[in-house]
A and B are shown apart, each in its own frame.
Chain A
């Protein structure tokens, strides 16, 4: 329950902070921190326009996408407090419920019949496909290390270890952060600000969405960032008491948003063909964590 509230709270300001950081870094004043949320509220009040060529798939896709993110959010714990849903193997459920949402967002984009959206969908599918092994090798190693198979148990057991388990947590944090960047189509994989359809990944898939549907997709994006932020925090929180853990959580989310804003201000995005390579690197970092886990648990002869 606690995690649900914290994720929703974080989602309200996370994207706003990224945009504000970028504005200030480029010498502009920038919009208020809650502007993205206000934009979404405005979108929710609007009607939706559907292309004549699209079918029911295009209409249900945004709702399924949003619900999948919402359900995934329910699984995420916060420190000792369980998520609303928690069971053995819930991290697999987490990954595939998000996968289901992504599948619908991809076929929704294909349904429009636009060549741009087809390109975006193919890129998104490719990147998610490469990101998946990284997530599973990572979660599997953490499961191996702790001996549990649910998010909450893995995370609460994780802090009880040698300094090497903290080293693993730092690597894991890096992998999760990068997965979050890929999932949310941020730099250096994708440029959320661009107006050029040919270079877009996620943005081009939602070109045809408008009004309420677009609002849902954007809200799901805010939530996704907060979900990954919470998972990263969980790697370190362990059994810290709530009165310290909650302020630390917000401080960390602010820092993450700020860091994303800085990265996006001071570097160019990758060439499209280097993205796949970059994402595969995440899997190899996950493999490192796997060997680390084998070493610690003494299963590695």
Chain B
């Protein structure tokens, strides 16, 4: 046994994680993942331990609901064999380790900077001279888009290599949004500051990331979370999913120039986020989730109000999706556009919607259930084609599913319990990992504490970290004019990736 298996949200002592040499670590982790579609790497990172780097690899097993953790101490003077050469899904993780600590991989095929972190190893590498993959051809041409986005969302640079209108290759370069959030988690000592940080990891997944942080913190402090707190979190996660999915449907309609869908879905998002304001005082769910507390207890008056909102929302939503899904001009834009095959999604380790659209069952709500999801008996929605149409269909069906979950939840409200217990200080020398299914996919936070119970290292992984590569693959051999709709149908986070 050179790994330890834990459950989601479980805290263990750092010393409990068995340490092995790199050869063992390499063989074992490759062995665990290759040929096992039910296993994938949820996080793989390094941190400084004296003069050496300690690597921690976390592999989630969806069938046994366990997470397998192994560790290894390496010296950065030694060149290492890369996991990526065997398994593509480690690609970004190893690039990140290389960028942060200067560890050199001898056979990594794409050892480029990830996000130009402030504390990167090689400060001479700057964002202005990213080593783009380029071609030397008379027939092909390059198109550079960004970093300033046409829709004024977030910055990112896209470099296309095209043959006329056809895209042959897309390289996505991010890092413009880097704020050093992981370092800020260590620097900011107050819990409120950290909870606020967690909310701003990715603005559209405020609930997802703050629930993950709350789970990590409560587990580290050995806090028994009461039912009413988890009830509110489940509800908030599902409401966030509805709001964002509906907003994305609007965005997809805008990109195919279907005005009716764009304006109706845009309007339908409003009652949901307005309800969130009625509940927690903020339309974008800032301040709703806090570790160890039920900030805004969900009352029966709110339940009644939510029921009214959904009763109006649901028929209007159904009417609009039926119109959209029977409109030939829209369907001709969605179908067979931006296809990612199941094999590709599996090999790059896609998560969340980007995995489910190719019939790859990755949903933390069912594989590593948390909060109220064991009670809801969640069944992930799977599609097979992996095109824009599948992604739009998943959004539609997940909105419907979320509505039914919310109806089920609010039919039996968990009564508010006044907290007797207060949050203690975290357990010293510990490791905790928490997985949450946000609307975009699996969110993973890992925390390490030192001997005083202070936060020593905090690692965040947004689903976008895996899925940006899926977008790059999906546009291959598509027309360049279909890029915007592919991009919108994934709707990945720039800030969640750049941290």
Contacts and interface: CB of A to CB of B under 8 A. Distances in A.
Partners in one complex: yes
B184 interface: no
Contact of A26 (B141, B260, B333): B260
Contacts of A270: 329, 332
Contacts of B254: 194
A197 B257 contact: no
Nearest to B166: A273
A224 interface: no
Contacts of B165: 119, 123, 272-273
B255 A196 contact: yes
B53 interface: no
A289 B329 CA distance: 28
Contacts of A196: 150-151, 255, 484
A270 B329 CA distance: 7
B244 to A, nearest CB: 20
A8 interface: no
A8 to B, nearest CB: 29
Interface residues of B, number: 33
Nearest to A274: B332
A267 B259 CA distance: 8
B260 A25 contact: yes
B389 to A, nearest CB: 13
Interface string A1-38: 00000000000000000000010011110000000000
Contacts of B15: none
Nearest to B167: A198
A73 to B, nearest CB: 29
A42 interface: no
A194 B257 contact: yes
B157 to A, nearest CB: 13
Given A115-B143, A115-B144, A267-B329, A272 B260 contact: no
B303 interface: no
Contacts, number: 87
B480 interface: yes
For A28, A198, A199, A270, the residue with the greatest tally of chain B CB atoms inside 10 Å of its CB is: A198
A191 B332 contact: no
B332 A271 contact: yes
A201 to B, nearest CB: 9
A254 to B, nearest CB: 20
B75 to A, nearest CB: 45
Interface in A226-279: 264-274
A195 B483 CA distance: 13
Contacts of A191: 257
Contact of A198 (B142, B267, B481): B481
Nearest to A197: B150
Contacts of A197: 145, 150
Nearest to B483: A198
Given A119-B480, A196-B484, A273-B479, A268 B330 contact: yes
B258 interface: yes
Contact of B259 (A22, A271, A273): A22
A266 B142 CA distance: 35
B32 interface: no
A199 B484 contact: yes
Interface in B228-283: 253-260, 262-264, 267
B263 A268 contact: no
A187 interface: yes
Contact of B479 (A118, A195, A271): A271
Contact of A27 (B164, B263, B332): B263
A197 B468 CA distance: 21
A197 B267 CA distance: 25
Interface in A161-183: none
B127 interface: no
A116 to B, nearest CB: 7
A268 B480 contact: no
B482 interface: yes
Given A115-B144, A198-B145, A198-B484, A265 B259 contact: yes
Given A198-B481, A199-B484, A272-B482, A193 B143 contact: no
A196 B332 CA distance: 19
For A27, A197, A266, A268, the residue with the greatest tally of chain B CB atoms inside 10 Å of its CB is: A268
B151 A188 contact: no
Interface in B290-312: none
B191 to A, nearest CB: 41
A193 B255 CA distance: 10
Contacts of B87: none
Contact of A28 (B151, B263, B483): B263
Contacts of B327: 267-268
Interface string B471-498: 0000000011111100000000000000
A206 to B, nearest CB: 15
Interface in B415-465: none
For A122, A193, A266, the residue with the greatest tally of chain B CB atoms inside 10 Å of its CB is: A266
B260 A266 contact: yes
B471 to A, nearest CB: 14
A268 B481 contact: no
Nearest to A273: B479
A188 B150 contact: no
B344 to A, nearest CB: 23
A266 B141 CA distance: 35
A1 B17 CA distance: 90
A264 B256 CA distance: 11
For A22, A188, A267, the residue with the greatest tally of chain B CB atoms inside 10 Å of its CB is: A267
For B164, B255, B327, B481, the residue with the greatest tally of chain A CB atoms inside 10 Å of its CB is: B481
Contacts of B481: 198-199, 271-272
Contacts of B332: 268, 270-271, 274
6 contacts: A122-B164, A123-B165, A193-B259, A196-B151, A196-B255, A272-B165
Interface of A: 22, 25-28, 115-116, 118-119, 122-123, 187-188, 191, 193-199, 264-274
Given A198-B480, A266-B260, A269-B333, 16 more contacts: A26-B262, A115-B142, A115-B143, A119-B165, A119-B480, A195-B150, A199-B255, A199-B481, A264-B259, A265-B260, A268-B332, A269-B257, A270-B332, A271-B333, A272-B165, A272-B479
Interface of B: 141-145, 150-151, 164-165, 253-260, 262-264, 267, 327, 329-330, 332-333, 337, 479-484
User: Which 3 pairs show the lowest CB-CB distances between chains A and B?
Assistant: A191-B257, A26-B263, A268-B256
